[in-house]
Amino acid sequence: MVENGEAITAYLKYKKSDAFQKTPAARLERRLREFQNESGYTEVFIHNMERLSPEYRAYLARLKEADRLLTEKFPEAEALYRGEM
């Protein structure tokens, strides 16, 4: 994160921009998030994958730690994960 701090900051700034919010990529991202919320993707599918697969459970633990480190260094990234950007 030290080496890529500028790139991460620029990315987060771009994701918040009106220029990005009007792109097809932003619309797709919003629709995918809506689908995941409405279908129970996180609560049902991801939860069951975690229970069924020790490898997936370990992967999620590493992913959560990476997310924690990222949001600790770049607090504005948390809004990105929640879809508030």
**Domain residue limits at 73:** 5-81
Task: Dump pLDDT digits (tens) for 8-51.
Answer: 999 999 999 999 999 999 999 999 999 999 999 988 999 999 99
Give 20-29 contacts, CB < 8 A, sequence gap 24+. 29/83
Which alpha helices (DSSP H) does the chain contain, by range? 5-16, 18-21, 24-39, 47-52, 54-73, 77-81
More confident residue, 2 or 65: 65
Give 33-40 contacts, CB < 8 A, sequence gap 24+. 33/83
Which tokens hold the place of 44?
Answer: 């049902």
Confidence of residue 85 (pLDDT cuts 50, 70, 90): low
Q: How many domains does the chain have?
A: 1
Task: Dump pLDDT digits (tens) for 58-74.
Answer: 999 999 999 999 999 99
Q: What single letter denotes the amino acid at residue 45? A: F
